[in-house]
Structures are given as structure tokens and as C-alpha cells.
Structure 1
Amino acid sequence: MSTSPPYVPPEAPPRPPPADGLVSAARRNLREITHGLAHPSHPPVPPLAGARKRWRRMLPYVVVFALGAIFVPVTLNVLINEYSMAEGLAGLLTVAQTVPLLMLAHRPLQAWWIIFPADIVGALVLLQYQEPLMAIWPWPPPTLIAYLFVMLAVALRETRRTVVSVWALTAVASLVLHLGGTDRSNGTAGLLPALGAVFMVIGAVIRERGDAQRRLAEQETISEAERAQRTLLEERARIARELHDVVAHHMSVITVQADSAPYRIGGLPEEAHEEFAAIAASARESLTEMRRLLTVLRSDGTEGERAPQPGLDRVQQLVEATVRAGLPAELSVPARLPDVPQAVDVSAYRIVQEALANVIRHAPGARTRISVSSDGAHLTVLVVNDRARQPDSPLEASGTGHGLVGMRERVRLTGGTLDTGPLPDGGFRVAARLPLTPVTPPAPEDP
């Protein structure tokens, strides 16, 4: 008799998290608004602190000092002469309402925290005085205009949430004052929020446009750096392919010599036979590994890279092709050159090739002189071009410098030096000095 397994009730589905209630959402938003009003979203530096020209860096300070110089005497004069306020009290209100304008260049939110309550206190104080003829309340004209500059400065520097909060508090204060003194209010209670909204929208648009331009400039800088890095890596891969051809030749010679040595040299002991066999095996293994690496480097399918690498013996053909393309060029090469290492030979050809390509792109029609010489220890490659015959119509208006990056990488890996730069007459000069004796190249930089 079999017993059935005990009944296990199915697990209840997980309860969804409690929904964010209206009260908790209001509290959270209130905390965020309070934090935004209490903590500026930018460091205490003026807007144009990073400008290159000194006058642009000084411009925000000039503006705030001009505002202070204008509104301090005007506000004091209006309070005393138009509203018949006592001079001492008028001076205190003027200082509180206008002197913080000097903070707008670097701390506009803190300036608003001073001016906003000072303007409310000023409106309440004016209620204690008899209403003069044509008096404006609750915001006298100097107070209203100065406050608009404060709102504009806040909009230029703070986040959208903070800007909306400042405007909302201003509107609430205007409404409360209007309701509390309807017999004195004559329009400015609603004028300040309306004009403030316009000023804040203008400031927010300018700030967001500046942020977008700054992000675009940063992205362009990153893209340019990535392009330069990609060019460097491509040039290194190309150099690696060329070095394979150089090293593979010597390794093949070692393999053949090691394999044939026991037959060419008689009377070798058994240990020598084994040593030559080990040398040949190591050489063949190295060749196999190099071919495998080359397969990876040539995975992009560039079959042209499988052709023998050019050297100085093909510079004459390169110059002739350049002349046929319409670039007047002259080549100076000695009849006999010392033995040139294959890596230096290939690098010299590539430097001449890239220099002529740059002349065609950036100085079409310019007379160009190519010189290859040697002092026995170094090979010197010099390419100098004059000013373009048609300077207003280059094939490329501006260069990226990636060709020069490839030249520098080749010269650096061979242990040489490279000097490039414009000439006083408008031409350009490329001078490479490559050692003919093996040197220890510098360690490659991290990509």
C-alpha cells in the first residue's frame, strides 16, 4: 500500500512593494526642493572663469559692480524721497536689497536668500508709511528691477528644479502681500512673477545651450583622442606586419643553416648534431608563431599587405608617381648607401610616402625636395615643400595630424628622431634621423 506525499500548498506570489503615496511623494519632493535651495549646484566661480582672454574672465565682476553702483544710490534715493522713509532705515534696507548683487557672479543663490527676505521686509515696512502720490507697492521700481537680475543670475547657474522653486516662492510672496494690502497694491505684485518667469526662461535657455555646447566640445575632444589612438594602433599593426617580413627572413636563414650545418661541417660530435637540430626546431617554431600572429593582424582581409614591403630602392618610383600626379618633386639619393637594416629601410620609405601624401593633400602644386643621405651611423630622410601654388584650394583645409603620428611611431620604434614643422616661407619640413646600428628602442606606450 503506497502512501501519497503530503499536500504542500503553493507559495503565495510575492507581494508588490507598497506604492509611493501622495504624502510620501510630497515629502520627498519637498526635501529635494529644500536641498536644492540650500545647496548651490555649482562651485563658487564666475561663469566665464575658464575663458582664455582676461577681459572675458573679468566681465562678470564688471557687470555685478556696475549693478551695485547703479542700484545702491537709486534705491536709497527712491526710499527717502519718494516714500519719505527715514534715512537710517532706508540705508539699512538699501544695503540688504542691493549690496548682495555683488555676489551674483559667483554665489547667486546665496544672494537671493538675502535679497528675497529683504524685499519682503521692505514691503512690510512701507505699509507703515502714508501712501504717497503715484507710489508703487509692494515692489518699488528699483527693487523690482534688481530682483529680476537676481532671478536671471539664478537661472543661469542653478538646476531647473531650483529655478522653478525660486520663482514659485516669489509668486507666493507677491500673492500674500497683495492679499494683505489690497488697498496699497497697484499691479507690481503680479508684475514681478510675470517678468521673473520671462527672465528665468531666458536664463535657463542660455544655460542649457551652454551645457550642450560644452558637452559637444567634450565629445569632440574624446572622439579626436580616440581617432588618434586608433591611428596609432593601426600604424603599430602595420609596423608589426612589416617587422614580420624582416624577422622571418633572418629566422629562415637560421633554420636553413642549422639544418645544413651537420652536412656541411664534417666530424661534428653527436652533441653538436643535437644542438643544431634544437636550433632549427626552435627557429621553425618561432616562424610558426609569427605566421599565426600575422594571420591575426591580417584578419581584416588586406591582401595587399602580403606583398613584399617596399624600401629605399622604390623611393625613385614613388617620386616619379608623385610627379605624374602633378606635384613637382626632386629626389636626391647617393649612388651608394651603406647597409641599411630592413626595418629602417621600410620606415624610411613609409616616411617619404606619408610626407608626399601630406603635400598633395595640404599644399597641392608645391615644389618638393626629397633627400636621403647617410653619415655611416645614421640615415637622414628630409622632405621639404614650398608654399602651395594654390593656397586657397587645398584638398584638405585642416589636417588631423594622424600621418605625423605614424611617422613618430616608426621613428620611435627604430630609436631615431623626427623633426617636423612649418617653415617661415609657408612651406613644411619633415626630417627623420634613423640609426643604422641596432639600438634598444623605447618601451611601447600603453594604448
Structure 2
Amino acid sequence: MPEVTTRLADELRISAPPPSLRRRDLVLVVALVLLHVDEVIDSDTLWPAATLATGSIAAMATLIRRSNPLAGVLIAFGAQTVVDFWAGTLESEVLVTSAHLGALVTLIYSLARWAPLRDVGIGLGVLAVVGIVGEYAVPEGKTTTEFGTVLLWCFIAALALAMRYRARLGGYQRAETRHEERERIARELHDVVAHHVSAIAIQAQAAQSVIHQNPVAAQDTLEAIHSSASTALTEMRRMVTLLREPSRAGELTPTPGPDAIKALTQSLAGELTANVTIVGDLEKLPATVNSAVYRIVQEALTNVVRHARRATKIWVNIDCSTDVVVLEVADNGATPGSSRVGFGIVGMTERMRI
């Protein structure tokens, strides 16, 4: 139970209260005071001075409804309670104008919407106690703190708490969206950079080893390096464009097919030879699944190049003939000695979950 209470309190906590005073708050106060004065003048209340004072105090209290909402509630309702009890002892009552009532509603809403939960409890508790006492202390008097009216204040507070929770939930959802987008960008950057840089590295080593004995083979390897670098730059530009213009994501994100998978293996020049087997129609898969398969193969090939010692052959087997895609990437190299899980493994795991 304490864990549930703590979690609820955390969900209702305010992450960023708004500015304490805005121009529209001043406009609201002026409008409430003018409307209140007009209603008092047009009424036949027995206590115009008291009515005018309490309504004006409540309107002025809305100035601190964000910076100190509890104080605003206590000031407004405190003044009204004193006048109500005083009028009650004289078997009379003080008029509560619509402007005055609007100020009280605004203060209650602000208390539940912006104040710490402790202050919300204190404010509503004080109103409840005063309301219960007012039921018996004020004969036949209809006050702003009688028990039935307190129930109205509680309803307004509940509405404000619901709005508060909704705003907090929206903040969580926006934060989660930003987090997922950062993870997606990190995966894409890792896949693009790691694969092509690894390919360039192994191709450069191959060119270096044959440049004197076989210049033609070295020339072919250098052309492969140029192709890998150009592809990496193209994909990096595409990602930068997506970051700057998210609306073009569908337009700029290709759906990799069998040819793209084979092109990945062909980019691994040198002593590595690849055998690609695809069962089923890869292009009929949903775009998200197709892209995930492509990136997983890309990362797996990168891991072979970087970690599989003395590997000369790679097998890529993809079976998409059923509802489940089965992907296998194997090599004949030695198992790396380190068991540390890098970002690539994490990225592949996340893509499989997607």
C-alpha cells in the first residue's frame, strides 16, 4: 500500500509549474472586481461593505493562485468564513456574487492543479472542518463553507487533480517518445557507421597486402572502399535529412530487398566469401520487419568482420515463408574470447522486439 501511494503521488507531482504571475491574471482580477462591484450595487444586501470586501479579497487572492495557491485559498475562504459566522450570529447572511463564487472556484481549482499534494490535503481539510462546524454554528445560514458547498469544492478539486494527472501522463508519453526516437537514431548511426567503417578497414588491409604483388586486385579493393565510403555518406545524409525533416521519413527510408542483402555481403571484400539463401518473398514483409532484417544482417556481418578471427566464409540464411521470420548468420571463424555485450547486440535485440 505505501508503494501504491508513493507511485500515485509521483504521478501527480508537478514537473514544471507555470509562471507565478501573468498579464491575463491581472486582467482576471480586474474583471472579477468590476463584476463583483456591479453586482453588489445592483443588489439589496444588508451588508454591502462586508460583501464588497470579501469578494474583492477573493479576487485579489487569485493573483497568487500559482505561486502560493494554499495561501490564496486560506485568505479568501478565511475572510468569507469570518463574515459568514458574524452574519450567522445575527441570523442573517452575506451575499455571494457570481464573481465572488468564480474567484473561489478558481482558487480551489488552482490549489488542486498546482500546489503540492500536502498543501491540497491541508486546504481541503480546513474547508471540510469549517464546513462541518458551519452546519451547526450558523443557524439557517447558507455560507460558502457549509457542508454541501464543501462537497462542490471537493468535486472541483477532483476535476483539477484529473487534469493534473492527464498533464503528467502527457509528459511521460512525450518523454517516452523522445527516448524511443533517441534509441532509434542511435541504432541507425551504429549500424551505418560500424558496418561501413569495418568494411573499409578490412578492405584496406586486403589492398595493402596485395598492392605490390597484384595491383589489379588492389585497384578493385580500393574501388570497393570508395563504394563503401560513398554508401556510408549517402546513408548519413539521409539520416540528417530525416532529423531535419521528419515528415519525409517514408519518402527517404527505402525498403531493403534481397538485392540489398546481397549487396551487404558483397561489400565485404577481401578473403571473406558469403553465401546468401533467402526462402520466401522478402519484399512482401511489412516495411518495419524488412528494415529490421536488413539492419540485423548488417550488424551481424559487421560483428563477423570485427570479432570472428580467421573467418573466410559467411552464411546468411533467411526464411520468411511462414508467419515467423527465421534469420541465421554464421561464419567459420574462431569464437572471440571476450563475452562483453556491445551496442550492436543490444540494437539487434531491440530490433527483433520491434
TM-score (norm 2): 0.52
Deviations 1:392-437 (A, max 9, x none): xxx89xxxxxx9xxxxxxxxxxxxxxxxxxxxxxxxxxxxxxxxxx
| Aligned: 1:344 with 2:226 | yes
Structure 1 or 2: larger helix share?
A: 2
* 1:249 is the counterpart of 2:206: yes
In structure 2, C-alpha distance between the alignment counterparts of 1:253 and 1:193, rounded to whole Å: 90
Residue 58 of structure 2 corresponds to residue 85 of structure 1: no
Query: 1:159 Cα deviation (Å)?
Result: 4.3
Aligned partners of 2:61 and 2:75 also within 8 Å: yes
> Which residue of 60, 69, 79 maps to 2:30?
69
The answer on whether the counterparts of 2:132 and 2:147 sit within 8 Å (CA) in structure 1 is yes
Q: CA deviation at 1:164?
A: 3.6
2:82 maps to 1:200: no
Report sequence identity in percent: 14
Which residue in 1 is equivalent to 2:130? Answer: 173
Task: Give the Cα separation in 2 of the matches to 1:71 and 1:240.
Answer: 68
Q: Which residue of 2 aligns with 1:232?
A: 189
Matched, 1:217 2:174: yes
Q: Quote how far apart the aligned CAs of 1:218 are.
A: 0.9
| Partner residue, 2:79 | 118
Displacement of 1:354? 8.7
Distance 2:72 2:135 in 1: 24
Task: Work out whether residues 193 and 232 of structure 2, in 8 Å CA contact, stay in contact via their aligned partners in 1.
Answer: no
CA distance, structure 2, for counterparts of residue 100 and residue 187 of structure 1: 16
Counterparts of 1:389-408 in structure 2, within 5 Å, are none
Sort the Cα spacing of 1:142 and 1:353 in 2 relative to 1 into closer, same or farther, 3 A.
Answer: closer
The question of 1:102 aligning with 2:63 is answered yes
Please say if residues 72 and 95 of structure 1, whose CA atoms lie closer than 8 Å, have aligned partners that are also in contact: yes
Larger Rg: 1
Letter in structure 2 aligned against 1:45: P
CA displacement 1:59-101 (0-9 Å, x = unmatched): x743x345423432344456675433364x5554343222112
* Secondary structure at the counterpart of residue 83 of structure 1: coil
Superposition pairs for residues 42-57 of structure 1, below 5 Å? 45-46=18-19
Assess if the C-alpha contact under 8 Å between 1:151 and 1:200 holds in 2. Answer: yes
Query: Structure 1 residues 78, 221: closer, same or farther in 2, change over 3 A?
Result: same
Contact 2:83 2:94 in 1 (8 A): no
Corresponding letter in the other structure for 2:147: G
TM superposition shift of 1:43 = 6.1
**2-structure distance, mates of 1:360, 1:158:** 42
Whole-angstrom distance in 1 between the partners of 2:162 and 2:124: 16
Contact 1:42 1:158 in 2 (8 A): no
The answer to whether the aligner puts 1:153 opposite 2:35 as a matched pair is no
Please say which of residues 153-162 and 217-226 is displaced more in the overlay: 153-162
* 1:173 CA drift (Å): 0.9
Higher relative contact order (CA 8 A, sep 6+): 2
Q: Which amino acid in 1 is paired with 2:76?
A: I
Asked if structure 2 preserves the Cα contact closer than 8 Å seen for 1:83 and 1:129, the reply is no
How far the C-alpha of 1:113 sits from its partner, in A, is 3.2
Give 1:136 deviation, angstroms: 5.9
Matches of 1:236 and 1:152 in 2, distance apart? Answer: 53
CA contact (8 A) 1:72 1:94 kept: yes
Query: Is contact 1:104–1:111 with CA below 8 Å preserved after alignment?
Result: yes
Partners of 2:18 and 2:235 in 1: how far apart? 50
Report which stretch shifted further, 114-123 or 154-163.
Answer: 154-163
Shift in Å, 1:241: 2.2
What's the secondary structure of 2:141's corresponding residue?
A: coil
- CA 192–65 in structure 1, closer or farther in 2 if over 3 Å, else same: farther
The alignment of Structure 1 onto Structure 2 pairs a total of residues equal to: 237
Offset, 1:212 = 0.4
Aligned equivalents of 1:187 and 1:346: distance in 2?
Answer: 77
Residue aligning to 2:291? none
**Structure 1 residue 185 displacement after superposition:** 4.1
What amino acid is aligned across from residue 216 of structure 1 in structure 2?
Answer: Q
The alignment partner of 2:18 has SS state of: coil
Instruction: Between 355-364 and 116-125, report the one with greater CA deviation.
Output: 355-364
Unaligned stretches of 5+ in structure 1?
1-24, 26-35, 48-57, 258-307, 314-338, 365-394, 397-402, 404-447
* Per-residue deviation, 1:225: 1.0
- State the Cα RMSD in Å: 4.7
Q: Deviations over 1:91-147 (max 9, x none)?
A: 54343222112333554333223223222223234346562xxx567x665544421
Counterpart pick for 2:251 among 355, 358, 362: 362
Task: Measure, in 2, the Cα distance between the counterparts of 1:353 and 1:186.
Answer: 71
Alpha-carbon separation, structure 1, partners of 2:37 and 2:238: 73
Distance change in 2, residues 1:85/1:355 (3 Å):
closer
